[in-house]
Amino acid sequence: MDTEADLFYRRLPKVELHAHLNGSVSFETMEKLIKQKLHLNIEHSMTAIRSGQRRTLDECFQVFKVIHQLVDSEEDILMVAKDVIQEFAADGVKYLELRSTPREVTETGLTKRRYVETVLEAIRQSKEEEVDIDVRFLVAVDRRHGPEVAMETVKLAEEFMLSSDGMVVGLDLSGDPTVGHGKDLLCALQKAKNCGLKLALHLSEVPSQKDESELLLNLPPDRIGHGTFLHPEAGGSDSLVDKVCKQNTPIELCLTSNVKGQTVSSYNKHHFQYWYNRGHPCVLCTDDKGVFCTDLSQEYQLAASAFGLSQESVWGLSQQAINFTFAPEPIKQRLEKKWAELRPQVL
């Protein structure tokens, strides 16, 4: 049963800005997919990392390969995206920026264009069904696939940005951080920026990305994903921190993901503390709520307990995230109003 404290986090209106679609598939949705594709011989233990379990980052990326086998058609994507949106809404998320890498699958006829259209269709249907959440989409570039694919993806993202009625707002750079180098993707990322797509870039997720982060921070990105190894205490540098601070670039922080993926040794050693204590813009996110078995309420609760945050501070954290969204100004104002209406009299 939920305690009073649990209820506070569940009722807290929240903004989710770093959620990979296929990493966010819940146990229940996975159950449906596994049953539909028994011939693949996939078990739950292959698609999620349970409480107390840890994996290397490399093993986490193997998990995505398994999930991609299960989610390989338009019908799957529609179901998965609708379920994920519904689940975020049920967890009190009022504004969600979902991200996903367009994929093509010859056997099912899935193309990258249909992939994006199907995610947008899921967003549209959720709206028609009056699910209480505003959803936007970031098209993701998987760094593993190199510069040509990155450029193709940017072109696709630009097209949808212009034709999707404001649903496609930006571009994400993600994928296995140990593969490839950001310098090869600069051209595509610059093009995305020039055409008005906002940039949410995974930066310094592993220690070896120092030079790459120096380079990518010059773009500059509009938000940073993880940034685990940017600060000097984690092996980064003052110059990286200076750049991030000068540009005041919000950082998307995903506690459970980093602890389970073992890039951070424990919750109370998470770099949330470094940035939060400096008053730097921080937003708590889930990353992959399905794979890491978490939700956004739990992430707020974990941060509060690891760093002794009061309910007032937690409220402040969730509210300030509105400013870091890629939504247009009127939407931000609408969200501010919602937060004012939902604020408890006593915190």
CB nearer ligand 6MZ, residue 82 or residue 202: 202
CA 247 to chain centre: 21
> Contacts with ligand 6MZ: how many residues (CB under 6 A)?
18
- Does 60 participate in binding ligand 6MZ (rule CB under 6 A)? yes
**Residue 289 in contact with ligand 6MZ, rule: CB under 6 A:** no
Question: Helices 146-163 and 186-194 sit at what angle, rounded to 10 degrees?
Answer: 10
Residue 154, classified by CB atoms within 10 Å of its CB into exposed (0-12), middle (13-18) or buried (19+), is buried
Is residue 170 helix, strand or coil?
strand
254-273 burial by CB neighbour count: b if 16+ within 10 A, else e? bbbbbbbbebbeebeebbbe
Of 16, 158, 205, 212, which residue is the catalytic one? Answer: 205
On whether the CB atoms of residues 288 and 278 are closer than 8 A, the answer is no
Select the residue interacting with ligand 6MZ from 15, 16, 17, 23 (CB under 6 A).
23
101 forms part of the interface with ligand 6MZ (CB under 6 A): yes
Q: At 244, is the secondary structure helix, strand, or coil? A: helix
142 near ligand 6MZ, rule: CB under 6 A: yes
Distance from first CA to last CA of the chain, Å, rounded? 22
CB closer to ligand 6MZ, 138 vs 335: 138
Q: Does 18 bind ligand 6MZ (CB under 6 A)?
A: no
Among 22, 126, 204, 286, binds ligand 6MZ (CB under 6 A): 22
Q: Which is nearer to ligand 6MZ, 93 or 322 (CB)?
A: 93
88 is an interface residue for ligand 6MZ by CB under 6 A: no
17 scored as a contact of ligand 6MZ (CB under 6 A): no
Return the number of the residue (137 or 315) whose C-beta is nearest ligand 6MZ. Answer: 137
Cβ atoms of residues 46 and 60 within 8 Å = no
Among 257, 286, 298, 318, binds ligand 6MZ (CB under 6 A): 257
Q: How far is the CB of 48 from ligand 6MZ (least distance, A)?
A: 13
Q: Tell me the C-alpha to C-alpha distance, in Å, between residue 162 and each of 170, 196, 219.
A: 11, 10, 22
CA angle 205, 211, 214 (to 5 degrees): 90
Among 21, 192, 259, 327, the residue binding ligand 6MZ under the rule CB under 6 A is 21
- Whose tokens are 């604020």? That residue is 343
Work out whether 299 is an interface residue with ligand 6MZ (CB under 6 A): no
Residue with tokens 């951070």: 264
- The DSSP-derived string for 207-228 is GGGHHHHHHHHTS--SEEEE-T
Specify the residue, 72 or 315, whose C-beta has the smaller distance to ligand 6MZ: 72
Regarding 259 and contact with ligand 6MZ (CB under 6 A), the answer is no
For position 8 contacting ligand 6MZ by CB under 6 A, the verdict is no
One residue of 13, 92, 170, 175 binding ligand 6MZ per CB under 6 A:
175
Residues in contact with 139: Cβ distance below 8 Å, sequence separation at least 6, in sequence order: 99, 100, 102, 116, 153, 156, 157, 160, 168, 170, 171, 172, 197
Residue 75 falls in the annotated catalytic set: no
Piece of the chain touching ligand 6MZ by CB under 6 A; list 18-26, 40-48, 109-117, 329-337: 18-26
Provide the b/e sequence for 66-79 (b: ≥16 CB within 10 Å).
ebeebbbbbebbeb
Q: Is 33 in the site for ligand 6MZ (CB under 6 A)?
A: no
**Binding site residues, ligand 6MZ, CB under 6 A:** 20-23, 60, 64, 100-101, 140, 142, 174-175, 202, 205, 257, 261, 287-288
Q: Active-site residue numbers?
A: 205
